[in-house]
Every structure is written in structure tokens, then in C-alpha cells.
Amino acid sequence: MAEVSQFKLPDVGEGLTEAEIVAWKVKEGDTVKVNDVVVEIETAKSLVELPSPYAGVVDKLLVPEGATVPVGTPIIAVRTDADAADQPAAPGEPAGAGVVGGPSEDMVPAPQPREQGEDGGQQQVLVGYGPRASVSRRRARRTSADVTSGASSGTSDALTATFNAVDRSARVLAKPPVRKLAKDLGVDMTTVVPSGPDGTVTREDVQRVAAGGQPAETAVVTGAGWDGLPREERIPVRSVRKATAAAVVASAFTAPHVTEFVTIDATRTMRLIDRLRESREFGDVRLSPLAVLARAMCIAVRRTPVVNARWDEAAGEIVLQRYVNLGIAAATPRGLVVPNIKDADRLSLLDLAVAINELADKARQGTAPPSDMTGGTMSITNIGVFGVDTGTPILPPGEAAIMALGAVRRQPWVHKGKVRPRWVTTLGLSFDHRLVDGEQGSRFLSDVAAILNDPAQTLVWT
């Protein structure tokens, strides 16, 4: 029985995926020699004549003229057994175009075909067969790492989980071989706790999960989370959360942040607050260290105006602002908002305290007008109310400085040569290093610290 070799459409142009069969130069029964032109094809790049890799008799043309087929498609079958090759072409039929040279030398023995038929034969990936041919079956892992995908299709939950996994896996940082390993092991990359540099998932991380060191999501997909609630709940990113995310990302990756800290003895400020609370003017106004800090910043900013300035990228200018619209970061049920007090520098401590309270109330109730949210020049975030000491706040976009006020608490402090319990707090100032140098930021921070340390300082500066 004749041995039949199939010529598969090669990629003749570095990355082509398909070609059109323009014209066959041979027909079934024709004798062909190696390198006889058998067909003309047109690719996205050019018109190309394909020479036969085989000598023999054309058994079958597998693709009609005019058809466009993917690279790797068998296009012609040639009977390559010696008998067939020896059969002379039928009289009057030219043995294909481009017959040159002495026949005896051209009748080379057919090379051992490496391509087998499509049935069960091994798929030899030839270089010229382009990208498609390379997607052959995947070899099995020797270690039976089980963990196939949960076969619980059908339920909409499973579907959602699949979609979610796909969605999130796009954000996992890992090298391609690690992704491949995870895929092979059936590990969902999004469930792997990364330990590599820059938060990348490493090979070890994946293997740990695969070995059961850390549960893969697929393995426990049916389990419930706390209080019988679903293990994960997905909350759409909307309104305030969305705006916050956009704002902090824009700010964090636009303005180079520098944060400085100072820890101070705020005992005199606390005493002042106590005294003022007793006074008639303040009556029922809630006076807090926050209001004193706000006032202190409005005073100190006069000595270092650049911390209240604005970077105008488009104009290539720094805009000095001779007014303070003081933003107060407020935690509200809807998320973080930073409404600001217009012309805060013109307000007395009493008016400032009143304004802060009003602002916070309006923000919490969601009744703050949009104008309260725009036009801020510098801000305060009062993280002390959560009992923490300090932080590195991110600048509201467009502002050059933001002050974090830590918790004010009784702590041992060296006072007049002795360790005493004093009211101590930490101030953290983030500033935009594009326009505020360390010297200016430090001066502003230490000025504010000086006022809180001794409010009488304001008598010197105002």
C-alpha cells in the first residue's frame, strides 16, 4: 500500500495565521519531484509559490482553489512510495511547473515523513507552521496534583465564582512560568498569598498552596465564611469609594509624597481647651485639639506659604494661595470625604471650632454641598479619634500638605527635668515634594508643633 504524506500549509511569512489557495499547479495523479511548485498561495503579505517537500504522485488536493485555510492545514497528499514516484506522468501531462535539471538527480528518495496523518499521529511542530501548530496537547504532570476545577457547574454561584476568578487573576503579579505552574496544578492564582518581591507570587507560593499549605479556592468553594455568610462578598465600587480610589491613586502617583513626624507635649493646649470650655463664649461649642490644630496651621502657614500652594502642571507654575480652605477628612457612612472650610485663616478659634463641627455634621449626614468638597488648599486628617498615634496621609489631589493628628494621651514625658505624665501626641505631615522642600515642610511642622506645645506662641506670630 502506498505511503501518503501530507503537506501542511506553512507559515511563509513569520507569524501569518492563514493563506488563500490561489491556484493549484498540479492535479491528482500528477508526478511531482521535490521542490516542484505545486500551489500558489496568497498570504496577508504576498503571493507565494509553494514547492513540494515530497517526491511522488499527487494523491489528493485537500483544499479547493479560492479557499482560505489556517496555517497547519493539510493541503495536498502525495503518495511517496518508490513505485508511485517511479510511475511516469501520464503522456501529455506536464509534471508540474518549473521542471528543471536532470531527472535522475532530481528523483531523490522521499525523506522520511515526520508528519503523520491527523489520526493519532504525533504532531511534529515545525518551525514554519506558525503559532497555531504549537498549541498541541499538554503533557500530564507526573505528580498527580489533583485539584481539578470544581465540577459543580450549573449553579449560578459557580459561574459567578469562575468569572470572578478570571477577573481577579488579571491583577495577580507572577511570572509566566509560575502562572503556568499554577494552571497545571489547578491552583487559583488569586488565592495565593504572594511572598515574592513587589508582591509577586512565586513558584514556592504556588507549590505551598498545591501541597495544601494554604487552601486553594477551588478546594473549599462550597464552605461558608463567618457567621454562615458567603466566604466572599463582592461590593461594587461606587460613588465615594470610587472617587476616593481615583483620588488617592492620582495623588499618590503624581505628587511625590514626603511624610515627617513630630511628637509633642500638648499639655498646655489641653489646659487651654479645658479653660475655654468653661468660658461663656464657647458655651456649648465642642472644642477639641483638632480646632486648635486648625488654628495653629492657619497661623503657621503665613510663615511658610508654599505648603498651601498648588502645582499647576499644565501651566508649569506654582500657584501661591493667600487664603486657606482647610479640608477636614471625615469618616462618613458613605466613605471618606474631605470637605473644606473656606477662608479658614480669617476665622477665630471659636468660629473655626463651630465651622469644623458643622462641616463634620453635614458631611456625616450627606448634606454637605458640592462646593464644600472642592477648592481645598490644605487638609487635616484626625486619625487620633481612632486611637492611633500617626500615619502617612495621602494628599488630597491638588493640595500640597496634609496633617495627620494622632491620639492625644497621657504619657510619661520629661518635663522640667523630671518624668511626668503629660498629654502627648504625634503630628504627621505629608507634603508634595515637587513644590515643598524638606526645609519648608519641616519648618511648617515644627511651627505648628510649637504652637500646640505652647499656644501663647501665637501672640508672637499674629
- From the centroid of its chain, how far is CA 457? 48
- Residue 77: beta bridge partners? 6, 60
Which has the closest alpha carbon to 71: 83, 80, 63?
A: 63
According to CB under 8 A, which one of 5, 31, 35, 390 is a site residue for another protein?
A: 35
Q: Does 79 bind another protein (CB under 8 A)?
A: no
| CA 454-407-374 angle, 5° bins | 90
Establish if 49 lies at the interface with another protein (CB under 8 A): yes
Residue 20 found at the interface with another protein (CB under 8 A): no
- Per CB under 8 A, the segment of 7-15, 168-176, 264-272, 367-375 that binds another protein is 7-15
Closer residue to another protein in complex, CB, 13/196: 13
Say if residues 328 and 339 touch (Cβ distance below 8 Å). yes
CB of 87 to another protein, least distance (A): 21
Is residue 257 flagged as an active site residue? no
**Binding to another protein in span 190-219, by CB under 8 A:** 203
Least separation in angstroms between residue 449's CB and another protein is 49
Sole binder of another protein in the list 4, 11, 76, 84 (CB under 8 A): 11
Write down the residue that cell numbers 509553494 correspond to: 50
Q: Which of 120, 176, 333, 387 binds another protein (CB under 8 A)?
A: 120
Number of residues that bind another protein (CB under 8 A): 42
Measured CA to CA, the distance from residue 191 to residue 209 in angstroms comes to: 8
Tell me which of 397, 433, 443, 446 is the catalytic residue.
433
Q: Where are the alpha helices (DSSP H) in 279-340?
A: 289-300
Residue keyed to cell 500558489: 40
Look up residue 400 and give its three cell numbers.
Answer: 500640597
Residues pairing with 56 in the sheet: 32
Cell of 6: 501530507
Of 318, 328, 270, the residue nearest 297 (C-alpha): 328
**The C-alpha cell of 230 is what?**
458567603
d(CA 25, CA 311): 71
Selected range binding another protein among 107-115, 224-232, 366-374, 437-445, rule: CB under 8 A:
107-115
Stretch that binds another protein, among 124-132, 208-216, 304-312, 395-403 (CB under 8 A): 124-132
The set of cell numbers assigned to 205 is 507560593
| Smaller CB separation from another protein, 4 or 328 | 4
Residue 354 grid coordinates = 463651630
Candidates 11-19, 150-158, 163-171, 311-319: pick the segment binding another protein (CB under 8 A).
11-19
Asked whether position 311 contacts another protein by CB under 8 A, the answer is no
Q: Which amino acid is at 297?
A: M
Nearest approach, Cβ of 143 to another protein (angstroms)? 6
Measured from the CB atom, is 98 or 397 closer to another protein? 98
Q: Is 40 in the site for another protein (CB under 8 A)?
A: no
Q: Output the nine-digit C-alpha cell for 302.
A: 503665613
Q: Which helix (H) or strand (E) holds 445?
A: helix 438-453
Question: Smallest distance, Å, CB 457 to another protein?
Answer: 58
Write phi, then psi, for 16 (nearest 5 degrees).
Answer: -75, 150
Q: Which is nearer to another protein, 115 or 265 (CB)?
A: 115
Which range binds another protein by CB under 8 A, 2-10, 18-26, 286-294, 419-427? 2-10
3-class SS letters over 209-267 = HHCCCCCCHHHHCCCECHHHCECCCCCCCCHHHHHHHHHHHHHHCCCCEEEEEEEEECH
Q: Is 143 in the site for another protein (CB under 8 A)?
A: yes
Using CB under 8 A as the criterion, what x/- string covers residues 171-190 for binding another protein?
------x---x---------
> Which of 14, 278, 313, 439: binder of another protein (CB under 8 A)?
14
Which residue in 1, 140, 151, 229 binds another protein (CB under 8 A)?
Answer: 140
Phi, psi (5° rounding) for residue 365? -80, -5
Among the residue ranges 141-149, 162-170, 321-329, 356-364, the one whose residues contact another protein (CB under 8 A): 141-149
Write phi, then psi, for 70 (nearest 5 degrees): -70, 150
- Binding flag, residue 53, another protein (CB under 8 A): yes
Q: Looking at 4, 6, 10, 272, which residue binds another protein (CB under 8 A)? A: 10
Instruction: Determine which helix (DSSP H) or strand (DSSP E) holds 332, and give its type and residue range.
Output: strand 326-332
Q: Rounded CA gap, 316 and 306, in Å?
A: 16
* Least CB distance to another protein at residue 415 (A): 56
Residues of this chain that interact with another protein (CB under 8 A) are 7-14, 34-35, 45-51, 53, 101-102, 105-106, 108, 111-112, 114, 116, 120-122, 126-129, 139-143, 177, 181, 203
Catalytic residue list = 433
